[in-house]
A and B are shown apart, each in its own frame.
Chain A
Amino acid sequence: MLTAGIDIGSISTKAAVLADGRLLGSRVIFTGYNSEAAGKKVFEELLEELGLLASAVRRIVSTGYGRSSVKFVDKAVTEIICHGTGAHFLNPLVRSVIDIGGQDSKAIVLDEHGKVKNFAMNDKCAAGTGRFLEVMANALEADLDGFGEMSLKADRPAGISSLCTVFAESEVISLIAKGESRVNIIAGIHESIAARVSALANRVGIVPPVVMTGGVAKNAGVVKALEKKLGVPIEVSPFAQVNGAIGAAIIAAGLR
């Protein structure tokens, strides 16, 4: 049976198609301003890529911020359950998931069956989320994709103390003005995110093995900073970014 999951986030929209518990394919696009259109588009593009007709897909579950905006799905489920389910699918041993999304970061603790035992999400503030990174990349006029690699070359990460995204941005600008190296600033930004997210993880009481999901997991600098802060190794799956969509597709398979 074919099922699909569509994860409409604030920055990117993801889709995954599963055939009887096997991942057939996945796709990521930018969400833009219209989340409904993005959900539709990513699904259609993925179907085309896989050479499938929409009618072949038996069930669809949506998740993410735009989960309720797409009407052609069978059910909308929140990211917490989807990321938990997705992470358990990719590695059944995993007990904790850290997900950093566009405007939300979350720490999830799972039981041995992949059910969510507990979770915590960031407070209203955008510090420690993907958006925070985007703003910083803008301030540095740097490409976000290169952030991870660059930060690994840092010798002395710059201290960024402000919690507020806007104030942190001006801190970064004044660091640039002072002549601080870009790599150290970027490493400092990663440490600041790690500090926020690890507080969240500690609050919910994460237990290893820990996996990181979400687009920010592709950033090796953030992962390294988080490992250092939490004192545990963090796994990153190659499907980190589409983990929520995979989880949604699995939940879709279980729908009656």
Chain B
Amino acid sequence: MSQVLLYLLAKVKKLILHFKKQNKMKEIMTVYYMEAKSARVGGRKVAWITSGGPVEPLIAMDVIPVYPENHGAMIGASKMGVGLCETAESMGYSTDLCSYARSDIACATVNGGPIGGLPRPDMLVCCNNICGTVLKWYEVQARYFDVPLFILDTPFCHVGFAQEAKRYVRKQLDEYINFLEKVCGKKMDHDRMKEVGKLSLEGQRLWQAVLDTTANRPAPMSAFDAFYHLALIVTLRGTPVVVEYYTQLLAKMKDRVAKGVGAVPNEKYRLLWDNIPIWPRTRWLSQKFAAHDACLVADTYTSAWCGTMKYIDENNFFDSMAEAYTRIYLNIGVDEMARIVIGMVDKYRVDGIVMHSNRSCKPYSLGQYDIQRIVEKERGIPSLMIEADMVDERSFSESQVATRIDAFMEVIKQRKS
């Protein structure tokens, strides 16, 4: 056993050296996935967790968190989505099911995809603050891998946040800790939890600061860059590596701002993106908009991982987490969502909104027409609706989307002239 361990460690070290020369993000993510895949050898446990789930207790318990949704995004970006979705469909899953769920479920059975499947979980943690799909998805996976599943139920906040809801979620956090202690066979170290909470909040602050640099003209980075840099705040928040990475990234962006370097060489129009990226098409889209001298300067998606900082109590992360995780963007009413969008329109001074009506993600796409109407009425800026899917390319029609983007940009140019 120890020999295997030594061998693996040597391999990881070699990889680190290899990637040091390349790019920092790739290096971090590769080491992370290597660690997760060899967790068993190192005597560590792996938990699969939903993208909006409270990951900090896992980090505090030294459990490696793995994100099937992040995996789904990787599958989409590497254009492997259609094949895996078809596999899931032949297993009997509906084409109407979220394509992250479809590709993940298929991937588990064939160990395919860009990284040869995710490391086997020891437990699953599912928080329904993002959608109801994850409940069934995680139940399926819990049966398939025969591992325990913890469900954190966060009531939908149509308006405000009731005290009852707060108590209800807070109570479940204790159950969450009990669950982890049982599966891991050890007690939670609450001092460590505090530390992780601090690091998580710091990571979120830095991420928000990075995103805020795009309020400058020209924007030093675009939403397409944010889609890329996002990976760490999603997967590893609560660890020092995130703080380090975003500190460096922030310095880099500030430097670009000082030098007046923009993400789009000749930035004339500024746009806001809504919904999950169309992963297999991010490059095409970014070139398409850049050709119109348009920069997508901000988006509602990447900002979701630092959007509820106002509810977090720095000195009491654990308790305040109940509210912060319940009031995320996908778990609030359309009116409040529209207020957030309008806030972004003002902050980043955008000329228009590009909305991705995402066939997969119903909670994100429902209400977009209302938000469109509210923003149009209050800020008088136009918005474009693109029908597509974040992973499943069968729902993407290039010529139709191209025509809509061209027309939208012509309208924006006409309005600004």
- With contacts A120-B385, A123-B387, A203-B369 taken as known, whether A78 is within 8 angstroms of B403 at the C-beta atoms is yes
Query: In the complex, which range does the number of interface residues on chain A fall in?
Result: 10 to 19
Is A81 an interface residue, CB under 8 A from the partner?
yes
A118 in contact with B376 (CB, 8 Å): yes
Docked pose: A120 CA to B408 CA in angstroms: 10
| Most-contacted residue by chain A among B382, B395, B406 (CB, 10 A) | B406
B407 in contact with A115 (CB, 8 Å): no
Docked pose: A77 CA to B413 CA in angstroms: 12
Is B404 an interface residue, CB under 8 A from the partner?
yes
B414 in contact with A124 (CB, 8 Å): no
Q: How many pairs of residues, A versus B, come closer than 8 Å at their CB atoms?
A: 42
Chain A interface SS verdict (over half): mixed
Docked pose: A116 CA to B399 CA in angstroms: 21
B415 in contact with A115 (CB, 8 Å): yes
List the B side residues contacting A118 at CB < 8 Å. 376, 382, 411
Docked pose: A150 CA to B293 CA in angstroms: 50
User: Which residues of chain B (359-417) have a CB below 8 Å from chain A?
Assistant: 369, 376, 382, 385, 387, 395, 397, 399-400, 403-404, 406-407, 410-411, 414-415
- With contacts A118-B376, A119-B411, A203-B369 taken as known, whether A78 is within 8 angstroms of B406 at the C-beta atoms is yes
User: Which residues of chain B (111-168) have a CB below 8 Å from chain A?
Assistant: none
- With contacts A118-B376, A123-B357, A123-B387 taken as known, whether A80 is within 8 angstroms of B411 at the C-beta atoms is yes
Is A169 an interface residue, CB under 8 A from the partner?
no
Is A7 an interface residue, CB under 8 A from the partner?
no
A124 in contact with B395 (CB, 8 Å): yes
- Distance to closest chain A CB from B294 (angstroms): 15
Is A121 an interface residue, CB under 8 A from the partner?
yes
List the B side residues contacting A119 at CB < 8 Å. 407, 411
List the B side residues contacting A81 at CB < 8 Å. 407, 410-411, 414
Contact with B along A98-117 (1 / 0, CB 8 A): 00000110000000000111
- Distance to closest chain B CB from A109 (angstroms): 10
- Which listed residue, B369, B376, B397, B411, touches A124 by the CB 8 Å rule? B397
Is A191 an interface residue, CB under 8 A from the partner?
no
**Footprint of B on A, CB under 8 Å?**
65, 77-81, 103-104, 115-121, 123-124, 203
